[in-house]
A and B are shown apart, each in its own frame.
Chain A
Amino acid sequence: MSFHEIQLTVNGNLEHVTVPSNMTLMHMLREVMALTGTKNGCSAGECGACTVLLNGEPVNSCMVLAAECDGAVVITVEGLAGDPLQDALIHTGGVQCGFCTPGVLISARALLNRNPNPNDEEIKEALVGNLCRCTGYVRIIDAVKEAARVKTQ
């Protein structure tokens, strides 16, 4: 199998890596760069635990090849340190086991970037690809609304 030399920006740092053809963006982030905030849930593009921002838009990083990311700009949950969404999730109790939280944070950040003041329905639609088995989602939705308020104040 061939290897590919790629250069990309991850959380603001320029990285040069050599990746095999079958390595996903998720595996590269977790196993090459030790950014384990991005979780491996279903490996099938369904659960959203591996969601990251790729060139500003959320993707399931288990469904993107690392080799496709030459020149890309990637933000993982580690890159969201200090985001008001994090405080809001803690404050509302939107974190229980925490496994879905990184993906939820990324999807919610992407939502607020394109729609700073979403209503409940818009939040639900934006988070449909982030499965949470603990919270029942209500507090996650509350957190997104709270973070939107903080931002708009």
Chain B
Amino acid sequence: MVTNTHPTLPEFEYIQPKTLAEASEFLAMHATEARPFLGGTDIFVRMRDGFLTPKYLVDVKNLDGTNELRFDPQSGLTVGAAVCMNRVVASPDVQRIYPVLAEACRSVASYQLRTRATVVGNICNASPAGDTIGACLVLDGVLNIYGKGGLRQEALSTFFLGPGKTTLKPGEIVTSINFPLPPQGCAGVYLKLGRNRLSDLSIVGVTVLAAPDSSLPSGYRIRIVLASVAPVPLVAKHAEEYLAARPVSTESLLEAVRLASEACSPIDDIRGSARYRKMMVKNLTAKALNAAWKKLHL
């Protein structure tokens, strides 16, 4: 038998609601059979491979205000759910004030994929490998979620429950993500290890954001998020607390690296073994911490 190596998409119904209310109602009514989608860059692949067989695909791209990318000097940045990654990268406000978000977006796949891929889609997909999630976490992103009860907000830090699992309930749709103004004088870094230098999914990803903070004993608040080494995008809390509690030195950075790698529980998959990940997360965290520290003192 000849297997088709270029399968087309399995059958489904394409649903294009006109409003958020309509979309939410449809998704709630068909909770097990319907899935929302934005750029489709992940869901189409998984449908072709037979991992997902939704009966309905609900297009939530062109709904009330989800296409907005807005920066306000007081309240910060809002990235609408339908805003593609290329738009985020090209935004002068993002480049100037949230450069680590632009850097993370640029590391995703290819330019033509980023015409479709969205930050909110990357988040809702809830893959531990999601490249932009680390930046969104260190920048204290807050999701705006539309549902039956109206709008609710949820900090990204509590959103992830497991691979592909989030706190979203049937009928809930993320409409945008807000970022407050980042701390004064902060420096961010995203380092990603793929099988090739550009375009691959991450084997390990490390996001670091460092900023002066006089309220902490060390004088610095340093955030660390690790990708592809745990069931969810992993905030390295112990390492962060360790670095906040004492003066930053070569030794304390090394100990933070050890604590970060200790927090990981990677798995073997086609991109790398758990053992390799455990070793590489050390190297990458050390590199990212040093790079952020250097940037901070430029």
Contact = CB atoms under 8 A, between A and B. Distances in A.
Interface string A55-68: 00111101111011
Contacts of A38: none
B43 to A, nearest CB: 10
B285 interface: no
Interface stretch (B7-15, B19-27, B168-176): B7-15
B18 to A, nearest CB: 13
Contact of A51 (B9, B109, B112): B112
A124 B45 CA distance: 25
A107 B111 contact: yes
B122 interface: no
Contacts of A124: 198
Interface string B172-206: 00000000000000000000000000110000000
B134 to A, nearest CB: 21
A48 B112 contact: yes
B40 interface: yes
B115 A21 contact: no
B109 A129 contact: yes
Interface residues of A, number: 37
B273 interface: no
Contacts, number: 91
Contacts of A57: 86, 115
Interface-centre pick from B7, B8, B39 (highest chain A CB count, 10 A): B8
A4 B116 CA distance: 21
Nearest to A106: B112
Contacts of A128: 110-111, 198-199
A46 B59 CA distance: 22
Contact of A63 (B7, B13, B14, B116): B116
Contacts of B45: 44-45, 63
Nearest to B40: A63
A126 B41 contact: no
B44 A45 contact: yes
Interface in B75-117: 86, 109-113, 115-116
A126 B9 CA distance: 27
B9 A22 contact: yes
B148 interface: no
Contacts of A111: 111
A63 B84 CA distance: 14
A126 B11 contact: no
Contact of B8 (A22, A45, A110): A22
Given A68-B59, A129-B109, A129-B113, A1 B44 contact: no
Given A57-B115, A59-B115, A22 B40 contact: no
B12 A1 contact: yes
Contact of B13 (A2, A48, A110, A126): A2
Closest 7 CB pairs of A and B: A129-B110, A21-B14, A58-B112, A22-B9, A128-B198, A57-B115, A43-B6
Given A1-B13, A129-B112, 14 more contacts: A1-B12, A2-B13, A4-B14, A20-B11, A22-B8, A45-B113, A57-B115, A63-B44, A68-B61, A111-B111, A125-B198, A129-B109, A129-B113, A129-B199
9 contacts: A4-B14, A21-B12, A27-B8, A57-B115, A107-B111, A125-B198, A128-B198, A129-B109, A130-B110
